Structure 1
């Protein structure tokens, strides 16, 4: 085994260009916000059971709209919301991007919703 110290060539380190005067740089959001935006809408086990029990079907386009509106609500500071569509009423967590529970519109009309701080009408 060779324990001698060998000299190696030195290599110059290159760093990313620094901010130049007069050039405007824009940082749109922090990592947590970006990650939350790309996460897909989740449906809790409870909500999935309620959707099945109550024969509520929501197509892909409607799910996309719900997801977009939840994102808008999150940006406005809403954490828990009631989403009302033509077919259903959904309680959602914009923080977790999750549908918590679901009921059909007829059933929802006789309920009182608590622990929400926003409503989304679709």
Structure 2
């Protein structure tokens, strides 16, 4: 299984299960793909499924690097408390994350959350936006 990373605007690199090899690609900062991959693996253990990546891009959802890290930490914490499929609510999105493999399985923009029923979750995590002081 090959794994590739894609850069979303204003977000950490996103890991998807694709088959193409992108080691020759360069990020917008000019660093090699391999370097970006290694940096992302150190800082963001949450992966994003192909389905969720598509939803995030279609819906224009952005989550700051700092908030991705906070989501990751809270998902790990929830997993230690027995929560395996949390709904993570951020300032502008709702994410369903598989706590077992730390993968975002789907995403919804905040504007889409009116009058919705969300099933197949066993806990909720609310992540307030980070404040840069």
Give the TM-score, by structure 1 length: 0.67
Partner of 1:97: 102
1:78 aligns with 2:83: yes
> Whose radius of gyration is greater, 1 or 2?
1
Q: CA RMSD in A?
A: 1.5
Give 3-state SS (helix, strand or coil) of 1:95's partner.
coil
Go from structure 1 to structure 2 and tell me whether the alpha carbon gap of 1:67 and 1:43 turns closer, same or farther (over 3 Å shift). same
Partner of 1:87: 92
Q: Within 2, Cα distance between the matches of 1:118 and 1:77?
A: 9
Alignment of 1:33-44 (within 5 A): 40-44=45-49
The structural deviation recorded for 1:96 is 1.0
1:107 aligns with 2:122: no
Give 3-state SS (helix, strand or coil) of 1:61's partner.
helix
Gaps of at least 5 residues in structure 2 are: 1-42, 128-133
User: For this pair of structures, how many residues does the alignment match?
Assistant: 85
Gaps of at least 5 residues in structure 1 are: 1-37
**Deviations 1:34-57 (Å, cap 9, x if unpaired)?**
xxxx98110000000000000001
Partner of 1:46: 51
Go from structure 1 to structure 2 and tell me whether the alpha carbon gap of 1:69 and 1:106 turns closer, same or farther (over 3 Å shift). same
Go from structure 1 to structure 2 and tell me whether the alpha carbon gap of 1:55 and 1:95 turns closer, same or farther (over 3 Å shift). same
Give the TM-score, by structure 2 length: 0.61
Larger RCO: 1 or 2 (CA < 8 Å, sep 6+): 1
The structural deviation recorded for 1:110 is 2.3
